[in-house]
Every structure is written in C-alpha cells, then in structure tokens.
Structure 1
Amino acid sequence: MVRQRERRTRRQWAKATVLCGVITAGLYCLAVYLGLSAVGHLGLIGRSQTMRVAYCDADSPATTSRGGTSSSGLHCVGYVDGRRVRVTGFSSPPRIDLPVEISRTPWGSLVPVDQGFSHKTFRVLTPLVPLAIAVMFTRWTRMSYRGWRNSSRLPTGSCE
C-alpha cells in the first residue's frame, strides 16, 4: 500500500512563514546585541580608561528553580580621573592594588575590558553562533514563503 503524502494548506504555509520569520528576526537581534556587547568588552569603541578599584560587591544572588542560589556577578566601585564609577560584569574579583582597564558599552554601562586570548576569542565568536542559526532560519523562511505563495496556484484536489 502506497502512503499518500498530505499536502499543506495555505494557512499552514502562512503559519510556518510567520513562525520562521519571527525566530529569524529574534536571532538577528541577539547577534547584534552580542556583537555590540563584544565591542564594549574588547574596548574597541570610545577610549579605554584605567580605574583604581576601591571595593567590590557581589550582586544579590538569584534564586534558581531548584531552590539554590547562583551569583549573577560582581560589580566594583572605583575612581577614574577623580570620579567615582561603578563597573559591572567582573567574573572574578580584581586585585585592589592593581589598575583595571574599563570601557563603555554602546548603551552606556561601564564594563571591564577582557584580557587574555581565550576571553577575547570567546567575545568575537559568540555573535557568530546566533548569526549562523539566523541564516539557516532565513533560508527556511524563504522556502516556507515560496510554498505559501505557490500553494494558491495548485488546483483543488490536485495530487501533485
């Protein structure tokens, strides 16, 4: 017995097109956000400044779904050119006696500039992952749109 393939309706093609389009737009937005964040963390925009750390505090711990706590990061307060600044995004506490290089992100917050090859490589490659997935979803959106557009051309009851 030969199993006949079920044809998609015009409504199913439309839903698939919209769903793929929304996912694609979200992934492109994520890639842009991660790219701009990387620009700030690598110190590529503006001018990097040197901060003298006064003290560091852990952000309030977030409660996980299992009842445990996880720290969301460190923020340090220090001085740059006589001004008091607050820098967020430290993965480990910096030494108090050493200066820390900081940079401003495009949205205005101050972050530490990544040091070391692995941290810089991670920042550069992170936006490429959602970008690659977004390109794949762009292809699926185009294929789904073509199917939606061409579904109205088939005669009713066609076996094609």
Structure 2
Amino acid sequence: MWGLVAAGLFALTGYLAGSAVGHLGLMGHPLALRTTHCWTTGPSTTSRGGSTGGDWDCTGLAASGGRTHRITATGFTSYPVSMPVRVAQEPWGSWVPVDQGGWNKAGRALSPLVPLALAVTFARWTLISYRGWRNSRRLPTGSSE
C-alpha cells in the first residue's frame, strides 16, 4: 500500500519538475509571443456560489530561427497586456508563460520538493515493512519474535 502511494508521489514530483522547467524557461529558448487572440477557459463556481476567474489561453505569432510560427500558450492567470509575452515549452510540448516574479519563480522551483519528501518517506516505510515481513518468515517455527 505504501509503495503505491510512494509511486504516485514520485510521478507527481516528476510532473511538477517538468512543469517548473517550462514555467521557468529552462528548456530550450523562450520565445516572444505576440498575442493575436485570447480567450478564457471559463470561470468556475465555488462551493459558496462565488466564481473564480479562469485561466487565459492565447494564440499568436512567435519568431524562432528566422521563421514565424503560430503557437497557442495556455495557463495565463490574467489577460496578457504587455507585448510581447515570454513563453516556453514544457517537456510534453505545451506552451506556457514564463514566470516573471521572484516569489513565483521560487514557488515553482520548490514545488517538486514537497511531494518528493513525502514519496521518500512512504518509500522508506515500504522498505521497512518489507524487511519486517521478510525477516518474520525466517524465524524458526514456534518462535515468539
């Protein structure tokens, strides 16, 4: 049981690390996106009846290697007012805005550490349980330990 939880947390750590690579602009070269059209993914309703603002997705033109590409970037927290907007590609191919603020960058960089610490803890419990089970099978018959 603990092993399955540890495996899930290791997978979450990998996802958060890959997302951080994209949002911090560490993979490849971030591009300058000149947005031509943006739309919201829709507000969601909270349990108290209020609404939260949705994320923005934008499409536009970005120049790379002397050629212009039309790309769609997802996950803007507000309508991108500044032109152009820096975007980078995540390892799985989607384009996301590059984090600008210091706190955003620090939070994004440290986010994989929490599930990693929990995954190591659960993996350790799994190993301890397995060793206890394995050693209990080696006891002589009639032993109380």
TM superposition score category, shorter chain reference: 0.7 to 0.9
Shift of 1:153: 2.8
Contact 2:24 2:99 in 1 (8 A): yes
Higher strand share: 2
Structure number with larger C-alpha Rg: 1
Correspondence for 2:30: 48
Figure out how many residues of one structure are paired with residues of the other and give that number. 141
Structure 1 unmatched ranges of 5 or more: 1-18
SS at match of 1:37: helix
Matches within 5 A, 1:63-78: 70-78=52-60
Correspondence for 1:89: 75
* Matches of 1:125 and 1:137, distance apart in 2: 20
Q: Identity across aligned pairs (percent)?
A: 53
Matches within 5 A, 1:4-153: 19-62=1-44, 70-81=52-63, 82-95=68-81, 98-153=83-138
* Matches of 2:4 and 2:48, distance apart in 1: 31
Shift of 1:47: 1.0
Aligned-partner residue type, residue 127 of structure 1: P
Superposition RMSD on alpha carbons, in Å?
Answer: 2.0
- Could you give the per-residue CA deviations for residues 46-90 of structure 1, whole angstroms, max 9, x where no partner exists? 111101122321103446667765444110122113432211011
Structure 2 unmatched ranges of 5 or more: none
Aligned-partner residue type, residue 123 of structure 2: T
TM-score (norm 1): 0.78
SS at match of 1:107: coil
